[in-house]
Amino acid sequence: MQRDTVIFDLIQEEKERQLDGLELIASENFVSDQVMEAAGSVLTNKYAEGYPGKRYYGGCQVVDVVETIAIERAKELFGAEYANVQPHSGSQANTAVFHACLKPGDTFLGFDLSHGGHLTHGSPVNFSGRLYNPVFYGVEQETGLLNYDKIQEIALREKPKMIIAGASAYSREIDYARFREIADSVNAILLADIAHPAGLIAKGIIADPIPHCHVVTTTTHKTLRGPRGGLILMGKDFENPFGITLKNGKPRMMSSLLDSGIFPGNQGGPLEHIIAAKAIAFGEALTDEFLHYMVQVKKNAAVMAEAFVAKGYDIISGGTDNHMMLIDLRNKDITGKAAEEALGKADITVNKNMVPFDDKSPFVTSGIRIGTAAITTRGLKENDMQTIVDFIDEAIMNHTDDAALEAIADKVNAMMHDKPLFVV
For residue 394, the minimal CB distance to ligand PLP (Å) is 29
> Distance between CA atoms of 355 and 337, rounded to whole angstroms?
13
Burial degree of 47 (CB within 10 A; 0-12, 13-18, 19+) = middle
Q: For ligand PLP, which is the closer residue by CB, 165 or 416?
A: 165
Q: Are 49 and 56 in contact (CB under 8 A)?
A: yes
Active site residue 49: yes
As a whole number of Å, the end-to-end CA separation of the chain is 38
Determine which one of 55, 222, 352, 378 is catalytic. 222
216 to 235: interface string for ligand PLP, x by CB under 6 A: ---x----------x-----
Question: Which of 49, 81, 175, 393 is the catalytic position?
Answer: 49
* Angle subtended at Cα 297 by Cα 374 and Cα 13, rounded to the nearest 5 degrees: 10
390 a catalytic residue: no
Residue with smaller CB distance to ligand PLP, 218 or 240: 218
Q: Does 209 bind ligand PLP (CB under 6 A)?
A: no
Total binding residues toward ligand PLP, as defined by CB under 6 A: 15
CA atoms within 13 A on the CB side of 92: 22
Q: Which residue is nearest to ligand PLP (CB)?
A: 90
Query: What interhelical angle do 382-397 and 336-345 show, nearest 10?
Result: 110
DSSP result, 230-260: EEEEESS--B-TT--B-TTSPBPBHHHHHHH
| 219 belongs to the catalytic site | yes
Pairwise CA distance, residues 189 & 212, whole Å: 11
Nearer of residues 111 and 290 to ligand PLP, judged by Cβ: 111
Q: Is 200 annotated as a binding residue?
A: no
- Smallest separation, CB 193 to ligand PLP (Å): 5
H or E stretch including 315? Answer: strand 314-315
Residues 89-108 that bind ligand PLP (CB under 6 A): 89-91, 94
Output 144 or 197, the one with its CB closest to ligand PLP: 197
Residue 378 CA to residue 373 CA, distance in Å, equals: 9
Catalytic residue (choose from 193, 259, 284, 347): 193
User: Which three-class secondary structure state does DSSP give residue 399?
Assistant: coil
User: Of the candidates 139, 144, 151, 91, which has an alpha carbon nearest to the alpha carbon of residue 112?
Assistant: 139
* Per-residue mark of binding to ligand PLP, 146-185 (x: CB under 6 A): --------------------xxx-----------------
Cα–Cα distance between 220 and 282 in angstroms, integer? 9
292 labeled binding residue: no
The nearer residue to ligand PLP, 118 or 161, going by C-beta atoms, is 118
Contact range with ligand PLP by CB under 6 A, out of 2-10, 39-47, 86-94, 102-110: 86-94
Nearest to 317 by CA among 116, 154, 180, 28: 116
Site string for ligand PLP, 2-21 (x = CB under 6 A): --------------------
- Whether residue 361 is annotated as binding a ligand: the answer is yes
- Taking the least distance from each CB to ligand PLP, the nearer of 95 and 300 is 95
Contact between 231 and 87 under an 8 Å Cβ cutoff? The reply is yes
Q: Tell whether residue 119 is among the known ligand binding residues.
A: yes
The nearer residue to ligand PLP, 117 or 416, going by C-beta atoms, is 117
CA distance 177 to 190: 10
Q: Is residue 114 within the footprint of ligand PLP (CB under 6 A)?
A: no
Q: What angle do CA 147, 206, 387 make, to 5 degrees?
A: 100
CA dihedral 267, 272, 274, 277 (to 10 degrees): 150
Select the residue interacting with ligand PLP from 73, 118, 161, 369 (CB under 6 A): 118
Q: Which of 139, 182, 183, 195 binds ligand PLP (CB under 6 A)?
A: 195
Active site residue 47: yes
Could you say whether residue 196 binds ligand PLP (CB under 6 A)? yes
Specify the stretch interacting with ligand PLP by CB under 6 A; choose among 87-95, 275-283, 397-405, 416-424. 87-95
Q: CA 137 to CA 155: how far, in whole Å?
A: 9
Residues in the annotated binding site for (6S)-5,6,7,8-tetrahydrofolate: 113, 117-119, 361-363
Active site residues: 47, 49, 193, 219, 222, 228
Catalog residues that contact ligand PLP under the rule CB under 6 A.
27, 89-91, 94, 118, 120, 166-168, 193, 195-196, 219, 230
Binding residues: 113, 117-119, 361-363
